[in-house]
Structure 1
Amino acid sequence: MFVIKPDIHLLPSYRMSPFTTASITDNNQLIESSFALDYFDKKFGEGNWSFTENGRHAIALALKSYSLSKNDIVTIITTSQNFYISSCVTKTIEQFCNWNREIVPETKVILVNHEFGFPYPKMEELLKLGIPIIEDCCTTFYSQDGNQKVGKYGDYTMYSFPKFFPVQVGGLLVSNKKKLDNNSFVNKALESYLTKVLSHHLKHESQLLEKRKSNYQYALSKFNSLGFEARFHNNHLIVPYALLLKNNGILKNLNQWKDFLNKNGIHNSVFYGEDAFFIANHQSLSLTDIDFMYECMVQFIANN
């Protein structure tokens, strides 16, 4: 049996991130290792990458390099081209200039958000415009396109570690055109912590990816049985960040549904602008955790 809508002080916590409370102890007990440094050198090139505090910090550092004026525009392109975009991105851009969602003469930089782990499919067309490109791969650490160039199209690429690893902090700025001036944009303590934790999980990368894949397929099959469908087409090159589903009109009030899941400790959101939603799905979940999310959905549908 599952307890639905328990006392607010006794909620479980299913985050979009694989971080759990137990991760604090697990991470603290890990031994020192430099494996992550060698991994990133091989993946991005020595001197081309740097730790940041988070994905927002990486975006700000990239934007700063363009000497943008307040009247300049950063055009945001997303995989879905739905108007949904995280305020973490827009508020960071607003520190430097304006932003919009359509390329105009005032566009000085294009920021491509490879959304939910699914790459934007027309990168080659954007390159032909000759406008500087920043790739937001915060939810796309492992996904690739058929050209194997995701993260390499733009001048800069940024990643967010909590999206894929059980950590509370940390990001990565990658420069594809020139070496970075700093080899780290974080203090030594955080750099040491990130190196240790990421080294552990990157050493077990194959298990991490297999668990994410199996959890995604299991959750998708469960929610498919209720009539929901995957919003994006998946393939072997994709590692989704979350379970993003088309509602198909099943949930009559998505905001009520969102509130219901929050009251059961399940991080989620409506994919505003479409009849769609997303919920947590990652390697830290057990099949029983997914069953619990499914049961919450069944209960909500039955009572609404």
Structure 2
Amino acid sequence: MIFHKDQIIDPENFRQPSFFISPFSTADLERNDAIMKNPNVSDDSLKEYNAFFGEHEYCLSGKEAIFNALDHYNLKKDDQVLILTTTSNLYISSCVTKEIEKFCGWSREKTDNTKLIFIIHEFGKVFHDMETIKNYNLPIIEDCAMSMFSSDEKELIGQYGDFTIYSLPKFFPIQFGGILKVNCKNYSINKNKAYQNHLQKVTLHYFEDSENIKKKRKDNNNYLILELCKLGFTPYFDYSERETPSVCMFTNNGHDLPKLKVFLQRNGIECSIFYGKDAFFIPVNQALGKFEMDYIINLITFFINESK
């Protein structure tokens, strides 16, 4: 353990702070319990919620939502799913590929065996060539797990495909949950899940604060990027007004990213490398205030200084 500029570096186990990609914290357990007991949601908020998610099914996670969508297509082992992403980076999260592999193969290029297109709107940056993808005349699934509050100029993200995937803990302070938005007519929605009432109430509550969530995340990203630029890093993404970051992603400046990842995680910061690119990401969620963001920046500064 080190005491450096009023900040504890490498604290004892079980006394680490916790800064997650999700806005969830321990205090939200009590808050969510109160929401379940007294869910006060206006009629206008309910209409906005239903307009946003449309016909939808609650799931335990975004991965379960992916599975349920894929299960709809009667895919065979020799079939392939074409995966396209905003950045075209070769790295794809195993959360996606492992679900696909339960049904068939996948590729990054269209082949004669391509039966389905899976679009990943990455980290709040949307895939901007959806009209071209539609011309393939193949079923489309949109993955908005990290891009719930992002859209294109036509405001059609989440409406191009048969299904859209959302991961609720990525944007709301809850412990679990996914939503499968259903845009096709021949899917039977399961409305009898034991946890549906819980997810519906807490998600409705937090969805009321959507505009503030979007603004806070954009402001947080701008602040973090400004401070990171002072350390020689540069922003990886240029977000439009219609896009809301799910993480703060920045391009490296010659530092050892695997060691930075281990150091930050050891100090309670959820973070990772954007594998395949010389880039790194840290939390940007709406629960972070200036103190919390400065805490993370100070850790990165300490790491850089100690690495010299």
So what's the TM-score if we normalise by structure 2? 0.93
Give 1:115-154 correspondences, 5 Å limit.
115-154=122-161
The residue that corresponds to 1:280 in the other structure is 283
2:220 paired with 1:211: no
Counterpart residue type for residue 169 of structure 1: F
The residue that corresponds to 2:226 in the other structure is 221
Unaligned runs of 5+ residues in structure 1 are none
Counterpart residue type for residue 265 of structure 1: G
Q: 1:68 aligns with which of 65, 72, 75?
A: 75
The residue that corresponds to 1:17 in the other structure is 22
Runs of 4+ in 1 over 6 A off after TM superposition: none
Give the deviation of 1:107 after TM superposition: 1.0
**Is residue 242–residue 279 contact of structure 1 (8 Å, CA) maintained in 2?**
yes
SS of aligned partner of 1:10: coil
Query: How far, CA to CA, are the matches of 1:68 and 1:180 in structure 2?
Result: 15
* C-alpha distance 217-301 of structure 1, shift in aligned 2 (>3 A): same
* C-alpha distance 53-244 of structure 1, shift in aligned 2 (>3 A): same
Unaligned runs of 5+ residues in structure 2 are 1-5
**Is residue 72–residue 187 contact of structure 2 (8 Å, CA) maintained in 1?**
no
**Is residue 55–residue 160 contact of structure 1 (8 Å, CA) maintained in 2?**
yes
Query: How far, CA to CA, are the matches of 1:146 and 1:298 in structure 2?
Result: 38
Q: 1:8 aligns with which of 13, 17, 36?
A: 13
Counterpart residue type for residue 191 of structure 1: Q
Q: 2:259 aligns with which of 253, 256, 261?
A: 256
2:180 paired with 1:177: no
The residue that corresponds to 1:300 in the other structure is 303
* C-alpha distance 168-294 of structure 1, shift in aligned 2 (>3 A): same
Query: How far, CA to CA, are the matches of 1:214 and 1:232 in structure 2?
Result: 14
The size of the alignment, in residue pairs, is 298
Give 1:153-172 correspondences, 5 Å limit.
153-172=160-179
Identity %, equivalent residues:
39
SS of aligned partner of 1:232: coil
2:201 paired with 1:192: no
The residue that corresponds to 1:58 in the other structure is 65
Deviations 1:32-81 (A, max 9, x none): 24657543322243xx2111111111111110111000111111111111
Q: 1:39 aligns with which of 43, 48, 57?
A: 48
Query: How far, CA to CA, are the matches of 1:43 and 1:203 in structure 2?
Result: 12
Counterpart residue type for residue 33 of structure 2: N
2:32 paired with 1:27: yes
Query: How far, CA to CA, are the matches of 1:143 and 1:280 in structure 2?
Result: 17
2:85 paired with 1:85: no
RMSD: 1.5
